[in-house]
Structure 1
C-alpha cells in the first residue's frame, strides 16, 4: 500500500499502547509512530511499565483498574491507621517510660506473636477452603477485622492491667487478617490474570503497595509529632482513616466481576432464571452477590460428603437412587442439603448438582413444618425427586444460557469436599 510517506512495508503494535509502520521511500526503510504513546519515552509510559502488568490492559480482567484504584486508597488509609496503632503499642510496652523493663516488653511482644501464630494455624484449618469460593466476602471481612485489631491496639495503653490480653487478642485478629487477606488476594489475582500472568500481576501489585506504603510513611512522619500525647486527635484521625479504609474496601470488592460460579452467584442466577427465564450477566449477578459474612440462620449445603450423610438406611438409599442415573446423590439430613459426588462427575454435573441443592435449600428455608419426623422425611424425598424433574426440564437451556451470557462453565468455585462415592443402581 502506498501513502504520502511512501510504501507501507509492515506494521507492528505493542498491545494497545504503541503502533508503528515501516515505509519504503526513496529506497530506504523508515519506521514511524502511528498514534499511541511511547511506553518508555514519557513519565506516564515509565509509570505504566513499572507499576502495571505487561500487556495492560489486554492482559488483565476488565475490572482490574477500578479494583486497583480502590485497593490503593484503602492501603494508604490502612498504612496511616497502622502508624497510629504501632505508636500506641510501643507506648503500651514501655517505650519512653523509664520504669518499664526490656524483659517485660519482650515477654509481651512474644506472647502477642505466639498467640497470633496459633490463630493463623487455626483459622487456616477451619476456613481455608472457603477463601477461594468466597474471596470477596473474606477479603472484606479481613479488612474490617484489621481495623478492629488496630483500634484495640490504640486503646490498650489506657487499660494497663489488661494490656497484654488486649494486644494478644489484637495479634490473633491480625494473624487471621494475614491469612484471609493473603489468600483472597491470590484468588483475586487468579481472576485478574488473562494470560497466565499471575506472577507478573502479583509482583506489580506488590510494587503498587510498596509505593503506597512509602507515601503513607512520609505522611506519618508529619502526623506522629502532632498526635503524640494527644489521644483525642489520635482517635479522631484513626476514625477518619478507618472510615476511608472501609469505604474504599467496599468499593474495591464491589468492583470485582467474577465469571465463575460460587454458591452465591449460582443461586442468584438460577433463582432469576426460574422466575422469568432471564439469564443474568456476570456484571448483574456480581452486583447482587452478598459481600458481608452472614450469621443469619440458613439451610446449609454440604458438597462432596460421604454416603452416610445423605442416606442412613437401605430404604433411603433406594429413594436416593430412584429415577436417578446421574453421578451424584442428594439428600436432606439434620437440616442440611447434602450431595454425594461420583468419581466420574464432570464440571457440568457439579453445576447441576449445585443447582438442585440451591433449589432445595431455598424451598426449605421458609419451611416451619411441624409434621411428625416420618412424614417430614418422606416429604423431603419428594422434594428431592421434584428437584431432579425440575433440572431435567430446565438445566440444559440454563447451561446454554449462562455460557452465552459470558459465564465460565469450564471450572467453578463451588466448595466441594474430597469424598467420592460409587454406588449400585439397584440395591436388591
Structure 2
C-alpha cells in the first residue's frame, strides 16, 4: 500500500477517514484502488492549503486532542479570557519584580549579597508556611467554590504585586512588606493551582484531564513568552520612573481583574455547589421552573467572600446539633424516615448525615437547609422558635423535593454527584428505625 497522494484519481473510492471532527476542520482522506494498489489521497476542501495546514498545526500544539468535542462548550471562551488575564499578570509581575530587585539593593553599591540573600530566603520561608496553613484551612473549599477562590487568588496576586512595588518606598518596613507579599503569593499558588485543576475536571469530557492540563501549560508558556517580549520594552521606560510604573501597573491590574471576572463568569458547570443549588432550588420553590445550567451559573455569586449569610455546616458531629437528651429526642423524631438530622440556631444551620446516606439524601438535606436558612433570614427579627422553622422547612421539602429531583433528571444537571462541602462525620442512631 502506498501512503502517497495521487495526482489523478481514476479508481473508485473504497474507504475514507477523518482526523478530528468535521466542525473542527478535521482532515479527510480517501482510499482508492489504482493499478491493483490501495492509494491514499487527501480530499480537497474549501480553504485547504498552507493556511489550513498552519491552523491545524497550531490546534494540535495548543488545543486538546479531539477539540472541540473533547472539552466543555465553555472551553474557548474561558481560555481566551484566561489568556488575556495571564498576559496582564505577566506584565504586572515584571514591574513588581523590578521593584523588588531594586528594594533588595540591585544597582546599589552599598548593598551586600548576604543581606539580599537573607531577605529573599525569609520571603520564601514565610511563603512556604502560608502555603501550608492555607491548604489546611481552606483546601476543602477549593473544589466546591472553584470560581470564587479562582477570582480570590487573582485579586490577592494583584495585592501582593502592588505591595512589592510600594516596598522600596518604605525601606524601614521593606522586609515586612515583601514577606507579607510572599505569603499572599503562596496562597495564590495554592488557590490558583487547585481551582484550575477543578476547572480542568469540568472541561474534560473524555477523561482527558492530563491532555487539557498539558495544553493549558503550553498556552500559558506562549502567553508568558509574549509578555516577556513586551516586558523588555517596558523595562527601559519604567526604570527610574516610579510614577509611570504605578500608572502602568494600575492599567494592567484593571485589565487583569476584568479578564478574570469574565473568565469565571464564562464557566458553565453542571454540578451543584451550595450557591448554584440555592439559586435553582429557590427558583423552583417560587415558580416551579428549573433554571438551566447557563442561567444558574450566570446568577451564581462569585464575590460573596463576606456576604454575612447564615452559614450551613454539612456532615457535622452530633454534639454540634444537639446538647441535651430532649433535643436529641426532638431532632430524631422530626427526621421521620430521613437519613439526615437538621437543626438551627441564630448563627448557623447544622446537618448530620446518617451512615449509608446516598447522594439523593445529600441533596434532600441541603435543600431543607437552604430553605431553613432563608426562613431564618426572613424572620430573624421575629421571635419564632427555631423548631417551628425546622418544621416549616420540612413542609416545603415534602411539597417540592420529589418533583424537583425529577425535573433535574430531565435537564443537563449532574445529579449523580455534587460539590457540596461535606465534612466526613457520619452517625448511627441506636433505634429500631435505623
Aligned match of 1:12: 17
Residues 258-277 of structure 1: matches in 2 within 5 Å? 258-277=269-288
Residues 27-38 of structure 1: matches in 2 within 5 Å? 29-31=38-40, 32-33=42-43, 35=45
Q: 2:406 aligns with which of 384, 400, 412?
A: 400
In structure 2, the CA distance between the partners of 1:90 and 1:23, relative to structure 1 (3 Å rule), is same
Residues 197-346 of structure 1: matches in 2 within 5 Å? 197-322=208-333, 324-333=336-345, 335-346=347-358
In structure 2, the CA distance between the partners of 1:35 and 1:329, relative to structure 1 (3 Å rule), is farther
Deviation at 1:387, TM superposition (A): 2.3
TM-score (norm 1): 0.93
Deviations 1:181-206 (A, max 9, x none): 01000100111001111011001100
Deviation at 1:5, TM superposition (A): 7.0
Deviations 1:10-66 (A, max 9, x none): 332223123334345676544442748699971111110001011111110000011
Q: Find the aligned partners of 1:182 and 1:39 in 2 and give their Cα distance.
A: 38
Deviation at 1:310, TM superposition (A): 1.3
Q: Find the aligned partners of 2:65 and 2:320 in 1 and give their Cα distance.
A: 49
Deviation at 1:142, TM superposition (A): 0.4
Preserved CA contact (<8 Å) 2:376 2:389: no
In structure 2, the CA distance between the partners of 1:114 and 1:351, relative to structure 1 (3 Å rule), is same
Deviation at 1:111, TM superposition (A): 1.3
Q: Find the aligned partners of 1:278 and 1:334 in 2 and give their Cα distance.
A: 31
In structure 2, the CA distance between the partners of 1:151 and 1:364, relative to structure 1 (3 Å rule), is same
Q: Find the aligned partners of 2:173 and 2:349 in 1 and give their Cα distance.
A: 44
Aligned match of 2:4: none
In structure 2, the CA distance between the partners of 1:299 and 1:131, relative to structure 1 (3 Å rule), is same
In structure 2, the CA distance between the partners of 1:397 and 1:21, relative to structure 1 (3 Å rule), is farther
Q: Find the aligned partners of 2:338 and 2:130 in 1 and give their Cα distance.
A: 42
Deviation at 1:282, TM superposition (A): 0.3
Residues 372-383 of structure 1: matches in 2 within 5 Å? 376=384, 379-383=385-389
Q: Find the aligned partners of 1:310 and 1:287 in 2 and give their Cα distance.
A: 34
Q: Find the aligned partners of 2:348 and 2:215 in 1 and give their Cα distance.
A: 43
Aligned length: 418
Structure 2: tracts of 5 or more residues without a match: 1-8
Q: Find the aligned partners of 1:21 and 1:348 in 2 and give their Cα distance.
A: 51
Structure 1: tracts of 5 or more residues without a match: none
In structure 2, the CA distance between the partners of 1:382 and 1:25, relative to structure 1 (3 Å rule), is farther
Aligned match of 2:54: 43
Deviations 1:331-367 (A, max 9, x none): 1135211000112111111111111111101111133
Preserved CA contact (<8 Å) 1:64 1:192: yes
Preserved CA contact (<8 Å) 1:310 1:333: no
Preserved CA contact (<8 Å) 1:39 1:49: no
Aligned match of 2:415: 409
In structure 2, the CA distance between the partners of 1:265 and 1:319, relative to structure 1 (3 Å rule), is same
Preserved CA contact (<8 Å) 1:19 1:33: yes
TM-score (norm 2): 0.92
Q: Find the aligned partners of 2:253 and 2:214 in 1 and give their Cα distance.
A: 27
Aligned match of 2:369: 357
Aligned match of 2:359: 347
CA RMSD of aligned residues (A): 2.0
Deviation at 1:293, TM superposition (A): 3.8
